[in-house]
């Protein structure tokens, strides 16, 4: 069990009263499969419908109803397995996982236990843009989601809505390869990115379409694994990080006081910043799995897998490497761009036929900065890639300076928000924003500034860094349009600093 286990970087260890502790984390991610219909019925998976409207007699487990598997859900699971560099099992088996709960009308969940559709794999997780770790995937299996219970509608009754009942989920189980809250967060972030690239899960955590069960234990460095606790259903990446830290500290506290950890299921309460025991299900943890007699084994051939593999999109790691080699981007910029496929696509549209670094700079710093401020994603950008590319062109050609380009960006953005798509070059012409490269005109401005500030001229001769003050004055006097290189050169000559 300890063979395939990463040691924590010493700086990730937690200081306790009895020495350093290491956190060991494994994650089970439940990812809702992107499909029109449910895993075993023809009712809709669409979110936000009226109660019990997206429910068929199969989903409500009416007597005599039989499940028929949705082929697209199978394909989505295989695509995901391929994206996780995992072994695809051409034969897998559906089992019944038995438990009682009002939002589970069958009295069992159809899941995969001994023979999952996807076996071992691994993904590269970027802990920082330049630092990565490899995290093992133990398995991926297909299963049904349960319905939803509402407890706050009535003083003595719970309300049950089965719209989610029977929707396909992929449970993706990692190896216990994660050693800190940051690594856990980075893992979920990367997994979510891969799923979104593949189009197999939209990763919408607010809607519960991606949720995590977080297994946490602690140990002294090099010691065998400690007893773990499972924190159920954490639904944001930030909370996953908080839950890991809070739970690790709780366990260390108990162990250092001479206590022992009970293996149990817990809940994370973000409001109180604590985890709490879920008690109840302890005894019911006997799921009595057995093969579902309503379903034959799920079988497909290598050609089925090969066809899906051939149609996979470029995945984040490959895209990142290509952006670095093709456009000369830094690993950092490439990592920012590939975090969402739409971002990378937008960048490539801007970079086409232009300087890649300049394009990345404008896309990341100006455009993404602005989108972030307004809480929009790149798909909702009012400014098009063509327009931003136009601005990059004007800088490259020396038509406008960097500071004027920022003003131009502002104008194009504001007009675009108002529904007017302006051509950057036309705006520069119409508003006289062109850079002044006429040295005669620049000299004239410099002469004026020098004449008005004889004292500063003396200072500059003693202290050449004062020249910067003159550059600022000249740029200001020219409305930012003077070519900075020309200003520097002429100033140096006039001040005798050459």
Q: Which residues bind another protein (CB under 8 A)?
A: 35-37, 41-44, 50-60, 68-74, 98, 100-102, 149-151, 153-154, 156-162, 267, 278, 280, 283-284, 286, 288, 291, 295-299
Task: Retrieve residue 55's tokens.
Answer: 């429910």
Task: Measure the CA–CA gap between 234 and 213, rounded to whole angstroms.
Answer: 6
Minimum gap (Å) between residue 35 Cβ and another protein: 5
Secondary structure letter of residue 368 according to DSSP: I
Task: Retrieve residue 490's tokens.
Answer: 């002429």
Q: Using alpha carbons, select from 369, 371, 413, 420 the residue that is nearest to residue 388.
A: 413
Minimum gap (Å) between residue 367 Cβ and another protein: 36
Minimum gap (Å) between residue 68 Cβ and another protein: 5
CB contact at 8 A, 342 and 350? no
Q: Is the Cβ of residue 81 or residue 166 nearer to another protein in the bound state?
A: 166
Minimum gap (Å) between residue 44 Cβ and another protein: 4
Q: Using alpha carbons, select from 432, 437, 425 the residue that is nearest to residue 484.
A: 437
Task: Retrieve residue 93's tokens.
Answer: 């088996």
3-state secondary structure of 111: strand
Minimum gap (Å) between residue 38 Cβ and another protein: 9
CB contact at 8 A, 210 and 187? no
Q: Is the Cβ of residue 98 or residue 453 nearer to another protein in the bound state?
A: 98
- The CB-side HSE value for 153 (13 A sphere, CA atoms) comes to 8
Minimum gap (Å) between residue 265 Cβ and another protein: 10
Minimum gap (Å) between residue 153 Cβ and another protein: 8
What kind and span of H or E run contains 29?
strand 19-32
Packing angle between helix 302-310 and helix 71-83, nearest 10 degrees?
Answer: 70
**Max CA distance (Å), the chain:** 98
Minimum gap (Å) between residue 104 Cβ and another protein: 11
Q: What values do phi and psi take at 94, rounded to 5?
A: -95, 135
Task: Retrieve residue 344's tokens.
Answer: 């990378």
Q: Is the Cβ of residue 288 or residue 431 nearer to another protein in the bound state?
A: 288
Task: Measure the CA–CA gap between 217 and 230, rounded to whole angstroms.
Answer: 9
Task: List, in sequence order, every residue forming a beta bridge with 26; answer none if it has no partner.
Answer: 215
Q: Using alpha carbons, select from 438, 420, 439 the residue that is nearest to residue 430.
A: 420
Minimum gap (Å) between residue 169 Cβ and another protein: 16
3-state secondary structure of 14: strand
Q: Is the Cβ of residue 298 or residue 371 nearer to another protein in the bound state?
A: 298
3-state secondary structure of 81: helix
Q: Is the Cβ of residue 277 or residue 403 nearer to another protein in the bound state?
A: 277
- The CB-side HSE value for 356 (13 A sphere, CA atoms) comes to 14
Task: Retrieve residue 457's tokens.
Answer: 């001229």
Q: Is the Cβ of residue 144 or residue 193 nearer to another protein in the bound state?
A: 144
Task: List, in sequence order, every residue forming a beta bridge with 219; answer none if it has no partner.
Answer: 22
Q: Is the Cβ of residue 94 or residue 362 nearer to another protein in the bound state?
A: 94
Q: Is the Cβ of residue 53 or residue 325 nearer to another protein in the bound state?
A: 53
Q: Is the Cβ of residue 104 or residue 395 nearer to another protein in the bound state?
A: 104
Task: Return the residue matching tokens 């984390």.
Answer: 25
Q: Is the Cβ of residue 230 or residue 345 nearer to another protein in the bound state?
A: 230
Handedness of CA 471, 477, 481, 483 (dihedral sign): negative
């Amino acid at each position: 069990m300890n063979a395939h286990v990463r040691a924590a970087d010493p700086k990730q260890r937690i200081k306790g009263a009895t020495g350093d502790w290491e956190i060991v984390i494994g994650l089970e991610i439940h990812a809702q499969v992107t499909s029109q219909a449910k895993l075993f019925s023809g009712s809709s998976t669409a979110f936000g419908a009226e109660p019990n409207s997206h429910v068929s007699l199969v989903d409500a487990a009416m007597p005599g109803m039989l499940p028929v598997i949705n082929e697209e859900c199978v394909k989505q699971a295989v695509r995901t397995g391929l994206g996780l560099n995992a072994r695809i099992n051409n034969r897998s088996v559906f089992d019944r996982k038995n438990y009682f709960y009002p939002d589970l009308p069958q009295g069992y969940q159809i899941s995969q236990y001994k023979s999952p559709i996807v076996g071992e794999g691994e993904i590269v997780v970027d802990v920082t843009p330049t630092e990565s770790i490899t995290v093992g995937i133990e398995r991926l299996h297909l299963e049904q989601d349960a319905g939803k219970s509402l407890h706050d509608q009535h003083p003595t009754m719970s309300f049950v809505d089965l719209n989610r009942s029977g929707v396909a989920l992929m449970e993706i189980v990692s190896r216990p390869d994660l050693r800190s809250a940051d690594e856990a967060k980075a893992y979920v972030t990367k997994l979510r990115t891969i799923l979104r690239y593949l189009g197999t899960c939209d990763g919408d955590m607010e809607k519960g379409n991606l949720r995590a069960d977080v297994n946490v234990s602690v140990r002294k460095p090099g010691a065998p694994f400690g007893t773990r606790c499972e924190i159920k259903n954490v639904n944001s990446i930030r909370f996953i990080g908080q839950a890991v830290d809070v739970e690790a500290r709780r366990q260390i506290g108990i162990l250092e006081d001479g206590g022992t950890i009970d293996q149990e299921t817990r809940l994370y309460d973000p409001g109180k910043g604590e985890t709490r025991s879920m008690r109840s299900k302890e005894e019911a943890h006997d799921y009595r799995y057995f093969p579902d007699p309503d379903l034959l084994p799920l079988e497909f051939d290598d050609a089925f897998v090969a066809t899906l593999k051939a149609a996979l999109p470029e995945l984040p790691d490959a895209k990142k490497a290509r952006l670095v080699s093709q456009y000369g981007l830094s690993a950092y910029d490439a990592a920012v761009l590939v975090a969402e496929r739409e971002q990378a696509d937008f960048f490539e549209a801007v970079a086409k036929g232009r300087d890649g670094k300049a394009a990345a700079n404008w896309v990341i710093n100006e455009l993404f900065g602005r989108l972030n401020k307004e809480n929009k994603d790149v798909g909702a950008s009012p400014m098009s890639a063509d327009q931003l590319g136009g601005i990059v062109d004007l800088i490259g050609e020396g038509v406008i300076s960097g500071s004027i380009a920022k003003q131009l960006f502002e104008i194009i953005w504001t007009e675009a928000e108002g529904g007017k798509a302006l051509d950057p070059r036309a705006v520069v012409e119409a508003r006289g924003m062109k850079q002044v490269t006429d040295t005669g005109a620049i000299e004239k401005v410099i002469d004026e500034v020098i004449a008005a500030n004889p004292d500063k001229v003396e200072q500059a001769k003693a202290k050449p860094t004062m020249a910067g003050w003159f550059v600022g004055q000249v740029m200001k006097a020219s409305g930012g349009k003077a070519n900075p290189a020309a200003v520097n050169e002429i100033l140096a000559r006039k001040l005798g600093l050459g």
